[in-house]
Amino acid sequence: MKRTGPRILTLGILLLMLVPMLSACGGAGSTTTTKKIKVGLVTDTGGLNDRGFNSLANQGMQKAITDFGVQGDVKESKSDADYIPNLTSFASGGYDLVIAVGFLMQSAVGTVAAQFPNTHFAIIDGSGTDAQGTDLKQSNVMALFFKEQDAGALVGVIAGMLEKNGATPNKTHVVSAVGGLEIPPVVRYIAGYKWAVLKEDPTAKVLVGYGGSFSDQAKCLDVANAQIAQKSEIVFQVAGGCGIGALQAAGTKGVYSIGVDTDQKALNTSVIASALKRVETASYSAIKAVHDGTFSGGQKLFGLDNDGVGYATGNITLSADIVAEVNTVSGQIKAGTLTVPTTVPTP
């Protein structure tokens, strides 16, 4: 008589062991899925059409959508009253990362991040703070900062050298800066600019004014016109969408201007250079960290050493000595032999 019972039993046990293994490997009938990362981007009041700061943050997210297949959505803030509702909407909607674009959202991020400790947050130019501006050092908040003073210094070298060489429209030795609001990132840009202008041309005068907005072009146009009336012939805009009005004022009055955050030479023929702040790199890096599972709270700093800031040439050809001086100053900043101030020099 054949004894087949044990063999049949052993084969049955093996088959039962293989079924879950096949399912785990994605075989027929497998229900294994990969969760799609959701990213929500909240702009400041400048909006996506500021052709600079907010637009760049969105560019970084769009690149991450292409590279990582994440879902990316945007909410534009019309006023500071929108910050908490917009951030909360994404956090309560199950988004994995919520990105706040701008220093003015610091306390809003601090509030919402505390309410959603399992959600990742990132903020450009700030950290999660309390109402008094104290950093709460929240483990779920990545604070993305820039050395704007270094970018300001590079375009300041250009402005100062042009004045020293007598290569400006009116040779007045007067230049200016138009900020949006007097907040740290804007102040750092202007600090580097004024410092470098005076370094290259100690006889120069640097005017500084603020439009009180990051979106109202008419306000910055008015400030720039007032500066041009005081003989400014190079106007550095540090005011987002509002600053486009400053570029327009320079173009209308036949003087030079300098763009901010991104290459803005296409916006007006007056633009001779732009100070670059690679916000897109910062927003992309935050998304990549979530995607890779390496996200951590705390400050991340972007400067010349990691290509986080820089400059772009504009609608005039810079002489070889100006280009050489910009490169020299850039190298000295990277090497630590030159330190650019973060507060505007006086007088």
For residue 78, give both structure tokens. Answer: 């019309």
User: Using an 8 Å Cβ cutoff, are 197 and 160 in contact?
Assistant: yes
Fold assignment, 38-146 = Rossmann fold (3.40.50)
CATH homologous superfamily for the domain 148-276+317-335: Response regulator (3.40.50.2300)
For residue 111, give both structure tokens. Answer: 């509030």
Same fold, 38-146 and 148-276+317-335: yes
Tens of each residue's pLDDT in the chain, 347 residues: 444 555 544 444 444 444 444 444 443 333 344 689 999 999 999 889 888 889 999 999 999 999 999 999 999 999 999 999 999 999 999 999 999 999 999 999 999 999 999 999 999 999 999 999 999 999 999 999 999 999 999 999 999 999 999 999 999 999 999 999 999 999 999 999 999 999 999 999 999 999 999 999 999 999 999 999 999 999 999 999 999 999 999 999 999 999 999 999 999 999 999 999 999 999 999 999 999 999 999 999 999 999 999 999 999 999 999 999 999 999 999 999 999 999 999 98
CB-based contacts of 125-133 (< 8 A; 24+ apart in sequence) = 125/184, 125/185, 126/100, 126/102, 127/299, 131/107, 133/106, 133/107
pTM for this entry: 0.87
Q: Give the pLDDT of residue 347.
A: 82
Give the start-to-end residue ranges of the domains of the chain: 38-146, 148-276+317-335
